[in-house]
Chains A and B, each alone.
Chain A
Amino acid sequence: MASPIYDKSVFKKFFNVDDANVLAWRDNVLNKLQGYGITPFYVDKESEDFEDVWQSVSQIFAIIQYYAKQFEDITANSELLELFLREFFQNFDVTDATTEVPLIFADFLGQFQDRGTLEIFERSSGVGVLNGELLRLIHNSVWDEFLFALVQAHEVGWTLGLSSPMYASCYRIMNLTKAYEYGVGALDLSKYPLINDSVISLVSEYITISDGLSVATNPLVVFVGGLAPLMTTTTTGPGQFIFGAGGVGYAGIGTEGPVRKPIVIDPSLDYEVSFRIIQNDIVSNDWSFGLRCYDISSVEIGSLSVKSGIELRWFIENFSSGTADNEYWVRGVIYGMDTAFLPDNKLNIGYGENLKFKSECNQVVPMIIVNNAGSMGAGDTVKIRDFKFKPRRLNHSLGMLGARGLIEGFIENNSIHTDDRATEIIEHKLIPYNSFTKIQYI
């Protein structure tokens, strides 16, 4: 039976007008009305009029009663549960209500406790564990760029040697480091993807590549799908990743087989890749510095020269530092996919070319490969430290005096909220009261 008025009411969200529970309650009440002691004797309880009137009254009360009953256990009603949670979490917005809402309700107080802590961007460790509230707010996925970095007081404003008001570089902001370690010195080799790690060791906080390079085996096929070889020093065939002649080898930071320790990026952002390098022999060996770019399926797609637009994976190839035993700081930039070509572009060291993302790129592995050109002698080493992968710059300069509690963000907002609204929620609900944000929405 059609019930257009009921269908427009608030009750319709919970049950139909002819819900069995409603009808049962109605009939029960109607029976009692027709029975002894409730209505006067002179009322004809068997008449059709009586039934019509009191059945309607009973039904209305049955609807109200059953509606009230819904609140006895809100977990049984997803809509009520969501409404309830929304009262407490103005930013309540889930990607999967079926799985997330019960989990949030179950950890209702925990959600409040997590606010103002690192837990807000803690990623789910598995089934039954929620992403942090901030990640949920922006509907973050593992393939989205996400940096949410508390900036230390000395990293902003004017601090000699560390920060300058009109500078916009991220280099000195430790928490914006995406890989692989935060400090200048290397402390843990296991954090790096290494190639031929048998000749790589950690010496005085330097990643040291020694003269044991000759143990490597050639050739190694790394590329498939007809892509150009990474290096062409001694090429024996297309798609081969070969360093030096047979019997000599290569080693370094990077990956040559399946993707290892990839860094998730957003192809519209610019990133800086930098490291410091010391060679004690600039004749017998050289090094190459590049980037391997992959799509979301971990298929290598390469990158472009920002100078010419040609396919290019190396910032610089087969290069030796200008002098031995001096530490050179090498900094490459991989520009966002929308960057116009820059004809005069070079690395900071005056050689090489910076790169540019292809639009499909979603993850990268930086490459620093030391190549034994054939005569690397005993005691020859190449030492690397201070490897960093970070956004190239902030979208504002560091010109703030004594700013404390500043949080820099690079965030992809996939939620229904506007960027401004998302920022408002983050600042008012998720971070400590004495913090503020500078978020660059991608």
Chain B
Amino acid sequence: MSQLNFSRNLFLEKEELERFQLFLQEGVANKLFLRNTSTWGIVDDRSLSGGSFLIEAGINPGTVKISADSYAVNNLSQLIVQKAIDNIDVPADGLYYWMKISRKVSKFEEGTVTVDLNGTLTGTGTLFTDVLRGSATLQVPTKIKFYKAGGAVNSDIYEVVNVGNDDTALLTGSFTPEGGLKYIVIGTYTLGETLTVTQEEGLYDYDATDIEYIVETVVDTEPVGKDPNVEFYVARVVNHAGVVTIVDKRTEYWTFYLEGALLAANNLSELTDIVIAAANLGVYTQTQINTKFSRGAGNGLAIVAPINGWITGGQTLYWKDINGRVHLSGFLNNIIPSATNAIAFILPATHRPLQTRGFALAVSSGDTVVQAYINSAGEFIIPSYTASTLIYLDGVSFEIF
């Protein structure tokens, strides 16, 4: 990994620290992870119902919402982050729009705040203890400024006096009571310095999402002009007099190469579907094993279908055990023995041995046995026997390999 060589008496300034930050961003793990990306797009977070950037109807008429915190990755390795948000206005002109997301930088801290006449700051969903620092504890205080659509009345830059908890803090300055404010951390600068425009814009850059509506020109067809792998469509929406219709258009997902040992399951996402995953891996679950190899009716057990004048008592059966060995049970009988009808039944291809297997079968009269065998075609053959004598299959079993 690229690195900054720290040593005593080394002067560290903006340039050096920016390089240091860059080296951290371009660390080996991060670089390899990103370079192994197969496709860029929405992070299909299966922990979320519906995944990232699922667009749903908002609480207010004519709006949509994103219910869960959502993520996407573009080909610049930048994260597109959107906290859950409601009441995103949809253009109310009855036209179909495609909602397009891309990355932007946000300067705003989490939550909204209210400030009173004395500078007492009350937050909702804020994290004051994480981002603010007050002078009352002999620390070097941070400064903040407010933002509100249409302009905040309290438009100055204010210094923090103290921080009570994540939701309360005290500022110093001249205030008009005002609510619904976003706030931006300016940071702490050497006293008496005139801040540059960039410094006044805020100390932190947060990953955020730019949501743009692109009008549809061809029915149900993605509008052209999207910057590939940088911008992603998530939905097709229309607002008819406050009634919003939404069509999910999330097709570009961030995927990752997985090669080598997991070829049988080259898409691990299928592990969420047990049947597909087991089939990919060629294994059975315990439930499948219990079901498949149980001798209960309909559970892999089958009734032999006799041919050539052979008959059974209806309970002449065949099945495989858990190790794949084929078993037979029940009896056979034929009242007209003949050399041409020696084949008593034919087992299905899944139950046939690779080579012929032979058996000695007990019969119902006398103390003799009859010879029988099964070939690779699944033909169960009894070459010689006495008419109307029951021939018992119980105990017959063979490997199929």
Q: A349 CA to B174 CA in the complex, in Å?
A: 9
- Interface stretch (choices B156-164, B177-185, B271-279, B301-309): B156-164
Among candidates A354, A397, A402, residue contacting B13 with C-beta atoms closer than 8 Å = A397
Contact of A326 with B161 in the complex, beta carbons under 8 Å:
yes
Whether a CB of chain B sits under 8 angstroms from the CB of A97 is no
0/1 interface trace, chain A 350-373, chain B, CB 8 Å (1 if under): 110010000000000000000000
State whether B140 touches A403 (Cβ < 8 A).
Answer: no
Flag if A400 contacts B190 (CB, 8 Å): no
Distance between B341 CB and nearest chain A CB, rounded to angstroms: 96
Partner of A400, one of B11, B172, B194: B11
- Report chain A residues within 8 Å CB of B138: 184, 386
Contacting residues of chain B (1-54) with chain A, CB-CB under 8 angstroms: 6-14, 16-17
Asked if B119 CB lies within 8 Å of chain A CBs, one says yes
The number of residues on chain A lying at the interface, defined by a beta carbon within 8 Å of a beta carbon of chain B, is: 42
The stretch that binds B, out of A162-170, A215-223, A228-236, is: A162-170
Candidates B8, B170, B190, B192; contact of A354 at CB < 8 Å: B192
Q: Could you tell me the distance in whole angstroms from the C-beta of B21 to the nearest C-beta in chain A?
A: 13
A265–chain B nearest beta-carbon distance, Å: 15
B242 part of interface (Cβ distance < 8 Å)? no
Task: State in angstroms the CA–CA spacing of A171 and B135 once bound together.
Answer: 13
Contacts of A167 in B (CB 8 A): 140, 188, 190
Does A158 sit at the interface, judged by CB under 8 A? yes
Q: How far is the CA of A184 from the CA of B12 in the complex (A)?
A: 28
Closest residue of chain A to B17 (Cβ to Cβ) is A165
- Is B191 a contact of A348 with CB atoms below 8 Å? yes
Residue of B nearest to A405 (CB): B9
Question: Interface readout for B186-218 with A: 1 if CB under 8 Å, 0 if not?
Answer: 001011111000000000000000000000000
Asked whether B139 is an interface residue with its Cβ less than 8 Å from the other chain, the reply is: yes
Give the contacting residue for B9; candidates A272, A276, A322, A400; CB below 8 A.
A400
What is the minimal beta-carbon distance from A385 to any residue of chain B, in angstroms?
A: 10
Q: A350-B159, A400-B10 are in contact. Are A323 and B192 (CB under 8 A)?
A: no
| Stretch of A102-110, A127-135, A329-337 on the interface side | A329-337
Contacts of A395-433 to chain B: CB distance below 8 A: 396-397, 399-404
Q: Are B173 and A350 in contact (CB under 8 A)?
A: yes
Interface residues of B in 123-143 (CB under 8 A from A): 135-136, 138-141
Q: Which residues of A contact B13 (CB under 8 A)?
A: 165-166, 397, 399
Check B8–A342 contact: CB distance below 8 A. Answer: no
Tell me, rounded to whole Å, the shortest Cβ–Cβ distance linking B338 to chain A: 101
A402→B10 CA distance, assembly (Å)? 8
Tell me whether A401 and B12 are in contact (CB under 8 A). yes
Select which of A158, A342, A349 is within 8 A of B194 by beta carbon: A342
> With the chains together, A342 CA to B193 CA distance in Å?
10
By the criterion CB–CB under 8 Å, are A169 and B191 in contact? yes
Asked if B118 CB lies within 8 Å of chain A CBs, one says yes
Residues from chain A with a CB closer than 8 A to the CB of B139 are: 161
* Contact A403 to B172, CB < 8 A, known contacts A167-B190, A326-B136: no
Indicate the member of B136, B191, B194 with the most A CB atoms within 10 Å: B191
How many residues of chain B get a CB closer than 8 Å to chain A's CBs? 36
Judge if B82 is at the interface, Cβ distance under 8 Å. Answer: no
A32 to B136, CA, bound (A): 94
Nearest residue in A to B158 (C-beta to C-beta)?
A350
Query: Shortest beta-carbon distance, A310 to chain B, in Å?
Result: 19
CB contact between B192 and one of A161, A333, A403 (< 8 Å): that residue: A333
- A348 and B118 CA atoms in complex are apart in Å by 16
CB neighbours (8 Å) of A166 from chain B are: 13-14, 17
Is B192 a contact partner of A335 (Cβ separation < 8 A)?
yes
Residue contact B192 to A272, C-beta cutoff 8 Å: yes
Known: A322-B118, A348-B159. Is A327-B173 also a contact (CB below 8 A)?
A: no
* A403: chain B residues within 8 A (beta carbon): 8-9
CA distance in complex: A222, B32 (Å): 75
Report yes or no: B7 in contact with A401, Cβ–Cβ below 8 A: yes
- The answer to whether B12 touches A399, judged by C-beta atoms less than 8 angstroms apart, is yes
Which A residue's beta carbon lies closest to that of B156? Answer: A350
Q: Is A92 interfacial (CB 8 A cutoff)? A: no
Interface residues as binary, A68-91 with B (CB distance below 8 Å gives 1, 0 otherwise):
000000000000000000000000
B70 within 8 A of A: no
Q: With a CB–CB cut-off of 8 A, which chain A residues contact B63?
A: none
Q: Is B239 positioned at the interface, with any CB of A under 8 Å from its CB?
A: no
A280 to chain B minimum Cβ distance, whole angstroms, is 15
Take A328-B135, A400-B10 as given contacts and tell me if A272 and B191 are in contact as well, using a CB distance cutoff of 8 Å: yes
Q: Is the CB of A402 within 8 A of B9?
A: yes
Instruction: Decide yes or no whether B120 CB sits under 8 A from chain A.
Output: yes
Q: From A403, which residue of chain B is reached at the shortest CB distance?
A: B9
Of the A-B pairs whose beta carbons lie under 8 Å apart in the complex, a sample of 19, sorted by A's number, is: A164-B188, A167-B140, A323-B119, A328-B135, A328-B172, A329-B161, A348-B141, A348-B191, A349-B159, A350-B156, A350-B174, A393-B190, A393-B193, A397-B11, A399-B12, A400-B10, A402-B9, A403-B9, A404-B8
Chain A positions near chain B (C-beta within 8 angstroms)? 157-158, 161, 164-169, 171-172, 184, 270, 272, 276, 322-323, 326-329, 331, 333, 335, 342, 344, 348-351, 354, 386, 392-393, 396-397, 399-404
